């Protein structure tokens, strides 16, 4: 009776009934709980009343069972009552039922978006409640369905933002092997390699770019999958478009950083040459457009790409950064960094006990660049006020972590980067875009 009363009442008047209903469910037997759930799922399927309160009841019972049921209560519902199918049908029904147009009032739009957001959150809860539910929600079929519903057939542009926030959550789902090793991230990779490249750049906001960045970082860092020409062919046109043309400055510059990072991860001379030649071509095209009195919106970003590459190439001279340690094999470094005897930076980072002093210096060089955009020329290590004279190839483990947990560094900077800091591949092609000294006639 309480369920019927709650599900038939306007939400703004149903709070007292909700408290009584949830309290009663908590004290009831499994049979009564199942009876309430079955009534709710029947109403969800019939859609003869508002499904919002019905969904509150369904998800409340699932959440209450998450820590107690084995096998998963949610998986039983997915198998016996097609719960995931009902939730997706309800999403489509909600979109169709709102019948919004683009000039709807802000109140209508907010209500519509809140309804959709709540239903997407329900899918995340269900995904966390059972393995079968997770596999269904993270399947390419389900992702394609939501892509069509929220991205292709969006009524409001903000629907796409909701979708990409949801996809980011799905993209973080990890499939583990029996040894606990991550085997794949199918959602993020499928979206990045198959669906997102089909969109116009203007459709991609912060959350869409974050999804791209997450997926690429997972693919190349956690899965140790190398950058290959075939994988670059799929994703690089989109990244180039974002880096060169995206109007949001923050997303555009983040895309520049990610683009350069992808091309340089493998330390492949050919990939770095490809990056330089592509960016140089865009820059030269922009210069010619300006010479003809045309606007050249991508020129500035092309120069930023080249300068970012120059910075990163210079940092390569310091060698690789230290690997982060896991508990039991890690030490926290507290670094005090002085730049040209003036600017002071305090930084903390964790590294493996097998890391060398040389790798720590490389880390400090990158910290300086991140904080100041300055390229260090030299990094001197101080311990107890005296310069480090021991071998820089000694490990933290060999030295004893107590000696290096608190270290000082003196950095001499290079404020104008010249070819000294470029990689061999860059030098050989004789490009120098600092200050853009290029001949537009060539």
Tens of pLDDT, residue by residue over 330-359, are 788 888 899 988 888 888 888 888 888 899
258-262 average pLDDT score: 85
Residues 6+ apart with CB under 8 A from 440: 284, 287, 288, 291
CA distance 391 to 91: 63
Backbone angles phi, psi at 342, to 5 degrees: -125, -75
164-189 average pLDDT score: 61
* Segment (H or E) for 160: helix 157-171
Of 36-45, 135-144, 188-197, 311-320, minimum mean pLDDT range: 188-197
Environment class of 235 (CB within 10 Å of its CB; exposed 0-12, middle 13-18, buried 19+)? buried
Q: Average per-residue pLDDT in the chain?
A: 78
Of 91-100, 136-145, 252-261, 275-284, minimum mean pLDDT range: 91-100
Residue 225: name the closest of 178, 179, 184 by CA: 184
SS percent in the chain: helix, strand, coil, step 5: 65, 10, 25
Q: Is the dihedral of CA 363, 364, 365, 370 positive or negative?
A: positive
Q: How confident is the model at residue 149 (pLDDT cuts 50, 70, 90)?
A: very high
Residue 49: name the closest of 16, 94, 13, 7 by CA: 7
């Amino acid at each position: 009776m309480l369920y019927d009363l709650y599900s038939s009442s306007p939400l703004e008047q149903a709070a007292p009934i909700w408290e009584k209903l949830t309290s009663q469910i908590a004290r009831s037997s499994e049979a009564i709980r199942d009876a309430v759930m079955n009534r709710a799922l029947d109403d969800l399927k019939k859609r003869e009343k508002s499904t919002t309160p019905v969904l509150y009841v369904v998800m409340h019972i699932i959440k209450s069972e998450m820590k107690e049921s084995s096998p998963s209560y949610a998986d039983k519902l997915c198998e016996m009552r097609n719960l995931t199918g009902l939730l997706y049908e309800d999403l489509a029904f909600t979109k169709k039922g709102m019948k919004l147009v683009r000039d709807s009032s802000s109140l209508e739009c907010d209500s519509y978006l809140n309804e959709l957001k709540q239903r997407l959150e329900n899918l995340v809860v269900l995904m966390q409640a059972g393995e079968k539910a997770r596999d269904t929600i993270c399947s390419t079929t389900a992702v394609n369905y939501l892509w069509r519903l929220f991205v292709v057939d969006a009524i409001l542009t903000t629907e796409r933002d909701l979708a990409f926030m949801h996809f980011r959550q799905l993209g973080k789902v990890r499939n583990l092997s029996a040894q606990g090793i991550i085997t794949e991230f199918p959602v993020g990779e499928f979206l990045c390699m198959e669906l997102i490249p089909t969109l116009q750049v203007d459709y991609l906001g912060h959350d869409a770019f974050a999804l791209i960045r997450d997926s690429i970082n997972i693919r190349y860092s956690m899965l140790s999958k190398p950058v290959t020409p075939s994988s670059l062919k799929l994703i690089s046109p989109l990244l180039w478009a974002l880096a060169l043309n995206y109007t949001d400055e923050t997303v555009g510059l983040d895309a520049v950083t990610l683009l350069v990072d992808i091309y340089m991860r493998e330390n492949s001379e050919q990939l770095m040459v490809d990056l330089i030649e592509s960016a140089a071509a865009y820059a030269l095209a922009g210069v010619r457009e300006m010479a003809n009195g045309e606007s050249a919106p991508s020129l500035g970003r092309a120069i930023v790409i080249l300068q970012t590459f120059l910075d990163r190439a210079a940092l390569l001279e310091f060698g690789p950064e230290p690997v982060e340690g896991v508990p039991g094999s890690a030490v926290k470094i507290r670094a005090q960094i002085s730049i040209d005897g003036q600017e002071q930076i305090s930084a903390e980072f964790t590294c493996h006990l097998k890391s060398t002093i040389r790798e720590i210096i490389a880390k400090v060089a990158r910290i300086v660049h991140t904080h100041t955009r300055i390229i260090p020329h030299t990094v001197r290590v101080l311990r107890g006020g005296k310069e480090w004279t021991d071998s820089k190839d000694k490990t933290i483990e060999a030295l004893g972590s107590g000696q290096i947990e608190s270290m000082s560094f003196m950095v001499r900077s290079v404020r104008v980067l010249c070819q000294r800091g470029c990689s061999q591949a860059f030098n050989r092609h004789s490009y120098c875009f600092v200050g853009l000294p290029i001949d537009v006639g060539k």
